[in-house]
Structure 1
Amino acid sequence: MRTQGSMKIKEETAEEPVGADKAGNCRRPVIDPVIELTPGSTARPLAGLSGKVEGFLVSHRARFGYVHAFMAVVFLALVAIPVFFPFPADDDTALTNLQLLARFIVWGLWFPLMFLSVVLFGRLWCGLLCPQGALTEFMSKRGLNRPIPGWMRWKGLPFASFVFITVLGQLVGVRDYSLAALEVLGGTMLLAALTGFIYTKDRRAWCRHLCPAGPLLGIFSRLGSAGIDKNGGTGTSAACPTFINTQTKTASSNCIACMRCVNPASESTLRLKLRRPGREIEEIGKREPDIWEVLFLLGATGLALGAFYWTESDMYTLYRDFLGNAFIDLGYGSLIGQSGPWWVMVNYPWAGETFNWLDFISIATFMLGTMVAVMGALLILLISSALIPKEKLEYWKRAASAGYAYAPVALVSLVLGLGIMLFEPLGSFGKLLPAALFAAGAIWSVYLAVKIQGPRPGVLPNMLGIGLVAWLWYSVLF
């Protein structure tokens, strides 16, 4: 019988690259922090656009820290400063009120562009622009350097983090109130800093194991037109900040494109490669399909739908009334009519909006119930789709591979839902463009389903699932 300690050692060994110790720390030097092409280099230059982009990023790799610091300062300013300014009046706009301006930048630009960027650049946003990732790595250089505990390595933990942050954000009004944004977004910044300070050195334990958005960005990055891949043979040994074994790397989901494993002076190095968008998912059978990623994608889709439906659908109103009557019948009418503190639920009487405990319970359970219902329906269809195999793969690997077809329609729907304020000033064109993007995402998902499973009967349940997701999002977005 294995002890818990031996299990931890085995897990750490499986994901550690050569050049790292058991605590997840780099035995430096592995590669120089900045490697530049020299006239005497024997490496064959990579032709075309990818070579130019790679050369630019590698030659400026030592300056990434300045970009990290700038983005961290900007993000903290957007989250913290608006708290000290007046709440917007009814006739205020983003040009006359700082809270509205910060809200537009964070929710209308920052997050939609973050998700959309992965289609073009992979997770370069995480490696170059993300303030939380930069902060956790900065703190890890000065921290306690403790090994990552076994509980943090549980693959379901990022999904639990996503569920908690998403539900909390809806309950406290994170998109509408500056104090709530400071609580949720500033709180995750603090957690990222603490995680980096406590665990490992020169790594990003937060990004790999705790970030609520990381796995979703990782799944969508498989759609990306850029990726760091092996250049034939085995990849160069490098201490990856997200704990990827660079010598066996075939997937993009955990790669943040930090360029540390790219060494233009070596023939066996990993290289930046441009590819057709979605190609990695088309080849997902040999690109490390992960059932946990698919479960995250399905669950996140259901939870996001719940977050939109409770504000737009009559179903929520009926559900809330049902719960209210049930609590009154049980004798809890006075309790559920009371309100809680602002950091637990919306409580801004001066703004004309206050939640009570009935709102708290009904919103949270409605979102979680929607997540379970959507996730359960999609899982049934996905399992049915995987029963008729195209290839001789393990069953769960077939199911995982088929599940990645949901990525495009989920990505486009999420971006449209978060960035809807971008289209409002465009008039009739602002309605046509989102509809066109939405249709493109749904068609792309259908295309990927056929590419993954082939034009066989087994793809039909997956098609139904894609249609269900598209219909649910269409109903709430349009």
Structure 2
Amino acid sequence: MPAEMKISASGQPSPLPERPFSVEYTQNEAKNRLARFGNALARHPIGISRIQWTMVFIYFSLLLLPALFPLPEFSRFSRLVFWGIGWPLIVLSMMLGGRFWCGIFCPDGTLTEFISGHGKKGSIPRWIRWQGWPCTMLVGTTLYGQSTGFYENYPATLVLLGIPTCMALLTGYLYGNSKRIWCMYLCPGNGFFGLLSKIAPIHFRVNREKWKRFSGPPKRINCAPLINIRQMQSASACHACGRCNGYRDAVELAARPFSIEIVSARDKTVSGTDAFLLVWGIMGIVTLSLAWAQSSLHEQFMEMVKFLDLPLHFKPPWWLSSSPASLYRLAFIVLTGTMVSLLVYGFLCLASRISENRVSWKHLSFCLIPLAGWGIFLGLCRLGASVWQEYGFSLPWVPFFETAVLALGTVLSFWLGIKVIMQHFSTKNVIATLIYCLPLVLLNYLWLG
């Protein structure tokens, strides 16, 4: 007899009443599915390893085949996968699911962890622990990529991606013992990914009460990014590999409000280094590096270069610059990006001073993470669209898509600002909120102006 039938008083089967829809039921189902997914990550290390090495094979195939077989079709397909598909999805995954890319799919992470277990296994030197590396590596890589025109020609793509891979292998060979020293300190995307993962709606949650009550022998785990799991509260450093899931019956993959890390942050826990990376590195340099092509400010800057009769006909080497104009473009990006970051910093400081909640400018800067992240996603999609168009694709929906992306980031950042500033209603808090909105207007102008 079907499970959905029951026997009535007359002896005839009758259907069971349908289970009423409830928000609580669907939430529990989602919770259970997340927990099962986390358990699957922990129980199938061999399967995860196969995925990782498959990604390594795909990565090297896309990176090296166009060099071994220099055909336009190969190089164009490589650029399409890297810039038209790969990087937009990586940034999107950080905001929606945390750093699963780092823990499961990133080929550099897999390689540096593997070679770290077979290298010299040295201790981590102090210079590698410098907190300024995330910003330095991100900005340096971004500016070099813009100078060489990384998304327009394959040799620049090979250099831009190949050098970090070689450095990851060297770092893994020299330092650590099956750990990801490169990923923790030197990876150009580490700081950026850590900031974006703060708004991810899922994370590996640690239940401290269950941790204390656990009495059995804990399993051995290898946390590649060297996280103190018991004290883990943020998703920023966690690579979401799932190895610790179920550890001491206290760690599980769970949902959370996307705003929880930002709203509940305390001034003493908000790193000034992270705030500087966000305001100058991401909202300044990286944003201008991706937004300059459609910026009227860049057109005015190049008109000034021509008016001053600066040289535009010299030929730099390809590995240094794709054209003389790209060197002037770098100057525009650095100067304009720095001015933008100073304006954002000034607005945030002013809002912080006026607010009655004494919230710091660093805390307020974290509220801008959604708009910064979705803006970078938009910029990468623009690069991808240019490669797709080389294949003859018409993309009439792009303007609507760009508007929707910016609207989403703006609304999320505005809502976070409201939650942090407007803890109670007052005239000063309203004024502080209006001032906080000025960086939102500025960033929208950079992308649409």
Residues 69-114 of structure 1 deviation map (CA, whole Å, 9 limit, x = unaligned): 11111112112212345564xxxxxxxx222222221111100000
Matched, 1:214 2:195: no
Of 412, 416, 422, which aligns to 1:444?
412
Aligned residues of 1:192 and 1:206 also touching (Cα < 8 A): yes
Q: Which residue of 2 aligns with 1:82?
A: 66
- The change in CA–CA distance for 1:87 and 1:158 in structure 2 (over 3 A counts) is same
For the 8 Å contact 1:119–1:277, the answer to whether it is kept is no
Aligned residue for 1:431? 399
Match of 1:403 in 2: 365
Correspondence for 1:306 among 283, 288, 293: 288
Q: Cα distance 1:324–1:437, how it changes in 2: closer, same or farther (>3 A)? A: closer
Tell me which amino acid in the other structure corresponds to 1:383.
Answer: C
Counterpart Cα distance in 2 of 1:166 and 1:138 = 27
TM-score normalized with structure 2 length? 0.82
* 1:291 is aligned to 2:272: yes
Maintained 8 Å contact 2:31/2:254: no
Shift of 1:433: 2.8
What is the SS of the residue equivalent to 1:229? strand
Query: Counterparts of 1:9-88 in structure 2 under 5 Å?
Result: 48-85=32-69, 88=72
CA distance in 2, matches of 1:387, 1:152: 36
Equivalent residue for 2:108? 132
Displacement of 1:195 after TM fit? Answer: 1.1
CA distance in 1, matches of 2:57, 2:43: 24
Cα 1:459–1:339 change in 2 (3 A) is same
Residue pair 1:85, 1:99 contacting (<8 A) in 2 also = no
Q: Tell whether the 8 Å contact from 1:207 to 1:242 is kept in structure 2 after alignment.
A: yes
Question: Would the aligned equivalents of 1:309 and 1:316 in 2 still touch at CA under 8 Å?
Answer: no
Q: CA deviation at 1:258?
A: 1.7
AA aligned to 2:108 is Q
CA 453–61 in structure 1, closer or farther in 2 if over 3 Å, else same: farther
Tell me the residue number matched to 2:123.
147
Q: Write the distance in 1 (CA, Å) between the matches of 2:273 and 2:443.
A: 19
1:470 aligns with 2:444: yes
Q: Aligned-pair distance for 1:208?
A: 1.2
Q: What letter matches 1:246 in structure 2?
A: I
- Name the CA distance, whole Å, in 1 between partners of 2:239 and 2:269: 17
Residue correspondence of structure 1 range 221-370 to structure 2 within 5 A: 221-233=197-209, 240-263=223-246, 266-267=248-249, 269-285=250-266, 288-299=269-280, 300-320=282-302, 322-323=304-305, 337-346=313-322, 355-356=323-324, 359-370=325-336
Letter aligned with residue 447 of structure 1:
W
Residue 143 of structure 2 is matched in structure 1 by 167
- TM-score under structure 1 length normalisation: 0.77
Task: Specify the alignment match of 1:383 in structure 2.
Answer: 349
Letter in 1 for 2:113: E
Q: Is the 2:138–2:189 Cα contact (8 Å) retained in structure 1?
A: yes
**Counterpart code for 2:152:** D
Q: Structure 1 138/189 Cα, relative in aligned 2: closer, same or farther at 3 Å?
A: same
User: Which of these two proteins has the greater Rg computed from alpha carbons?
Assistant: 2
Q: Which has the higher helix share?
A: 2
Q: Quick one: which amino acid aligns to residue 222 of structure 1?
A: K
Equivalent position amino acid for 2:352 in 1: A
Amino acid at match of 1:341: P
Question: What residue number does 1:459 align with?
Answer: 433
Deviates more, 1:451-460 or 1:120-129: 451-460
Query: Contact conserved, 1:263 with 1:270, CA < 8 A, in 2?
Result: yes
Give deviations 1:404-433, integer Å, cap 9, x for gaps. 111111111111211134597464434323
**Alpha-carbon contact 1:251-1:287 (below 8 Å) kept:** no
**In structure 2, distance between residues paired with 1:228 and 1:288:** 19
> What is the DSSP-based 3-state SS (H/G/I as helix, E as strand, rest coil) of the residue aligned with 2:204?
strand
Check 1:325–1:143 CA distance in 2 against 1; reply closer, same or farther (3 A cut). farther
CA distance in 2, matches of 1:292, 1:312: 30
Cα distance in 2, alignment partners of residues 157 and 432 from structure 1:
37
Superposition deviation, residue 273 in structure 1: 1.2
Match of 1:371 in 2: 337
CA distance in 2, matches of 1:272, 1:201: 26
* 2:11 equivalent in structure 1: none
CA distance in 2: counterparts of 1:113 and 1:400, whole angstroms: 28
CA RMSD in angstroms comes to 2.6
- Report if the CA contact (8 A) 1:251-1:288 is conserved: no
Give the share of equivalent positions with the same residue, in percent.
25
Deviation at 1:199, TM superposition (A): 1.4
How many residue pairs get matched? 400
Q: Answer whether contact 1:280 1:287 (CA < 8 A) is retained.
A: no
Secondary structure of the residue aligned to 2:205 is strand
Q: Which residue identity lines up with residue 431 of structure 1 in the other structure?
A: P
Contact 1:250 1:288 in 2 (8 A): no
- Structure 1 residue identity aligned to 2:290: F
